Amino acid sequence: MSRVVLLDAGVGLATVQDALRAHPGVSVDLADGLPRGAGVVALLVPPEVTVGQTAVAALPDLRIVAATATGYDHLDLAAISAAGAWVTHCPGYCTEEVAEHTIAFALDLLRGVTLLDRSVHDGSWDLHVQPPRRASGAVLGIVGLGRIGREVARRALALEMRVLGFDPVVPPGRVDGIEVHELETVLARADVVTLHALLVPGQPPLIGAAELAAMRPGAYLINCARAGLIDQDALGAALRSGRLGGCALDVLPNEPPAAGQPELRWPRTLITPHASWYSPAASTEPYRRAGEAVAAVLGGREPQDALARPA
């Protein structure tokens, strides 16, 4: 019997099994680590699991690696393709969720909701602990103008925010109400900067000490994308110095964080547990789509949302 291995502790096992119901000779198993040996025809992997040359070399029957997420920086596309397998992902399955989470972060930072709540619980009754700022008229800078970045912009414009954007493949100008500029201009003018760019393996962080220094004093930074987009040491220093007004993070370098992880001690910092993607609907959608991609390959068809095809 051929094996489809789900390397995810989520709720997707039954969903994947349903998608493969037309293939009775295939089993769907949960696994804590990468399998080895013959018989494994598909891997379904979350962002936390890296699949590279060593992994695929141990799987002679592998036909597809399906990411149960939008991002795919954890997959070595060239190595998987060279091993004769497809690579797919799930773009757009949680676009609305991440956009809404980002806007919630932006409003929280500008109005000081969480930090003021913490201060009251600590015995204070002083709005000047984190003075609220008006969201209408504030400048939101969006780094990365793909699906999620543009949905964030649409919501921000509805709140009467001014929206600036940067994307290396979008020329300067005006697109859907977004004023597109170079990164330096966006950082210098924005009250809140939010990241929605792809993480490129091997590249330095997109936001380092120089970029943080280029931001407006007292500005806020949001990251619901990948922790590697930011130089964490530089971010901590900018917060401790007071250069940044605060930050909101849904992703950390180590998840869950250890008790002594620096981010947990940073001032004026909001952290959610990699939750921006989640809703009941989004919690099953990537498994359904990954399962359907596997079913297509096993049926001799080209899967949707293919990133790489067998070499």
Q: How confident is the model over 132-142, as pLDDT tens digits?
A: 999 999 999 99
Residue 134 and residue 128 in contact, taking contact as beta carbons nearer than 8 Å? no
> Collapsing DSSP states into helix, strand and coil, what is residue 113?
helix
Identify which has the larger pLDDT, 84 or 11.
84
Read off the pLDDT of residues 64-91 as tens digits, 9 standing for 90 and up: 999 999 989 999 999 999 999 999 999 9
Rounded Cα–Cα distance for residues 308 and 75 (Å):
11
Do 2-93+280-308 and 95-271 fold alike per CATH? yes
Q: Would you please indicate which residues are annotated as catalytic (active-site) residues?
A: 226, 255, 274
| pLDDT (mean) for 145-174 | 97
Assigned fold of 2-93+280-308: Rossmann fold (3.40.50)
| pLDDT (mean) for 47-57 | 95
Q: Indicate yes or no: pTM above 0.85.
A: yes
Rounded Cα–Cα distance for residues 68 and 71 (Å):
9
| pLDDT (mean) for 201-223 | 96
Domain-wise residue ranges, the chain: 2-93+280-308, 95-271
The residues, any chain, with a CB within 8 Å of residue 232's CB and separated by 6 or more, are: 253, 262, 263
pLDDT reading at 10 higher than 70: no
Distance from first CA to last CA of the chain, Å, rounded? 25
Name the average pLDDT for the chain.
Answer: 96
Sheet holding 246-249: strands in order across?
173-175, 178-180, 162-166, 139-143, 192-195, 220-223, 246-249, 269-271
Is residue 96 exposed (0-12), middle (13-18) or buried (19+ Cβ within 10 Å)? middle
pLDDT reading at 9 higher than 80: no
Read off the pLDDT of residues 229-249 as tens digits, 9 standing for 90 and up: 999 999 999 999 999 999 999
| pLDDT (mean) for 160-172 | 97
Assigned fold of 95-271: Rossmann fold (3.40.50)
